[in-house]
Chains A and B, each alone.
Chain A
Amino acid sequence: MIKTDILIIGAGPTGLFTVFEAGLLKLRCHLIDALPQPGGQCSEIYPKKPIYDIPGFPEVLAGQLTDNLLEQGKQFEPGFTLGERAETIEKLDDGTFIVTTNKGTKHHAPVVAIAGGLGSFEPRKPKLEHIEKFEDKGIAYFIKNPELYRNKRVVIAGGGDSALDWSIYLADIASEVTLIHRRNEFRGALDSVDKVQELKQANKINLITPAEVIALNGNNNLESITVKTENDNLDIETDYFLPLFGLSPKLGPIANWGLEIEKNAIKVNNALDYQTNIPGIFAIGDVNTYPGKLKLILCGFHEATIMCQAAYKIINPGKKYVLKYTTVSGIDGFDGSRKEAPKAVVKAIQ
């Protein structure tokens, strides 16, 4: 059982900044995220795109913002459960919570902060008959362990960065890589496109475009796929089929936690502390709604800061505290590090 002070669901910018604000109050955080890396949409959807409305940063790339937030919170030693989706929540008699993921990992905390953005990212599945029957029996939407594909035949479908990047990566591991896309053009980093071109010429990637997978064949396990090309239909024998058509966020299991939901978001008390209808559970960032709500990263930062003050009062009932400026108090990390403003020089002039 993982124990922490504030259990944060969602490791996007709002969740990551919560680690910092909580740390100033000597509260520890642990984050759960369905994606395999922190950053949420910033790292999953648009890491290379600039953001212009982060206060103090005239321009920052979304991926860089994620890295900065991780760096800013690092001395508060956050824990991470990545690649797992928060599935169920149980409120114990003492008012604390146990959150269990889809993989069965249990987390225990007195305060839960849902910073889930638009929800957990679920793969977009192509509409193919029997696709669910072959899931984990030849079909996968994420590549968690590339070694699984060593010396196997792999077919990848998709036209974006992940289809390109994994085709390149698996070209060295799999016995055969086939990349299928509906068009001849790919949407991705130029060097990835060039690399696939190179690997195609070297016969390390079998490229089939414009084409579409139209059927999946096999008994228990996937054995082959049928591909419709411009001229005819091909059957390709394969061990794995990886449809990489991106991810789409779904509020998912959180919708069944007894929280008040409005417009696919969690209603909170914005006049006070962003608490939900269940005391001890807060919702911050894009996942919440209240009159006047703006879905902006900078608003998520504000909400996280207010929420941490409320969490402190729940975790340390009656214990006095007064807000301090980091410039004055410095930062004492849980790792023993200390950051502080240099002292002013006091020296007599002769």
Chain B
Amino acid sequence: MSDIKLKITDRDGNTHQVDAPTDMAMNLMEVIRAFELAPEGTIGICGGMAMCASCQCYITSNHELTPMDDEEEAMLSEAFDVKDNSRLSCQIPITTDLDGLELEIAPES
């Protein structure tokens, strides 16, 4: 399987183009951590269980994503700085469909 390209804007407003593998069962939060685009300890605090909202991001391209499940929706309803395009990046698996995806990491809260 091939890598996909993602455009990730960090919390300082800098945009990074990264290549993410599609064959390692990674999610978007893990890609952000792997490329160190947010300081350790400020993202993915619960490890990816949709239980902390520290990996919230705003999806800015028009990709069709895996739909939100109840846990993600419930967690986002308790999070701060939530917008219509908010998602928990830990709940978005990296697949070839996401090639070209653009997103911004939400502020730390």
Hey, which bits of chain A sit against chain B, CB under 8 A? 41, 45-46, 49, 118-119, 124, 126-127, 158-160, 181-183, 185-187, 245-246, 248-249, 251, 263-265, 289
Residue ID in chain A nearest B71 by CB atoms: A187
Which one, B39, B49, B78, B109, contacts A49 given CB within 8 A?
Answer: B49
Q: Which residues of A contact B42 (CB under 8 A)?
A: 264
Q: Which residues of B contact A251 (CB under 8 A)?
A: 41
Known: A181-B77, A187-B71, A263-B40. 18 other contacts (CB 8 A): A41-B46, A45-B49, A124-B80, A159-B77, A182-B78, A183-B74, A183-B77, A185-B77, A187-B77, A246-B52, A246-B78, A248-B45, A248-B54, A248-B109, A249-B45, A251-B41, A264-B39, A265-B40
Q: Which residues of B contact A126 (CB under 8 A)?
A: 80
Majority SS at the chain B contact face: loop
* Contact, CB under 8 Å: B41 / A45: no
Contacts A45-B52, A118-B45, A248-B109 hold; do A187 and B40 have CB atoms under 8 A apart?
no
Which parts of B8-51 form the interface with A (CB within 8 Å)?
39-42, 45-46, 49, 51
CA distance A187 to B51 in the complex (A): 10
Q: Which residues of A contact B73 (CB under 8 A)?
A: 183, 185
Which one, A124, A246, A249, contacts B41 given CB within 8 A?
Answer: A249
Hey, which bits of chain B sit against chain A, CB under 8 A? 39-42, 45-46, 49, 51-52, 54, 70-71, 73-75, 77-78, 80, 109
* Contact, CB under 8 Å: A263 / B49: no
List 17 contacting pairs A-B, 8 Å CB cutoff, sorted by A.
A119-B41, A124-B80, A126-B80, A127-B80, A159-B77, A160-B74, A182-B78, A183-B77, A185-B70, A185-B77, A187-B77, A245-B78, A246-B52, A248-B52, A249-B41, A264-B41, A264-B42
CA distance A33 to B80 in the complex (A): 26
CB distance from A284 to the nearest CB of B (A): 16
Which one, A45, A119, A158, contacts B78 given CB within 8 A?
Answer: A158
CA distance A187 to B109 in the complex (A): 20
Q: Which residues of A contact B78 (CB under 8 A)?
A: 158-160, 182, 187, 245-246
CB distance from B82 to the nearest CB of A (A): 9
CA distance A172 to B4 in the complex (A): 55
CA distance A182 to B77 in the complex (A): 6
* Contact, CB under 8 Å: B39 / A263: yes
Q: Which residues of B contact A263 (CB under 8 A)?
A: 39-41
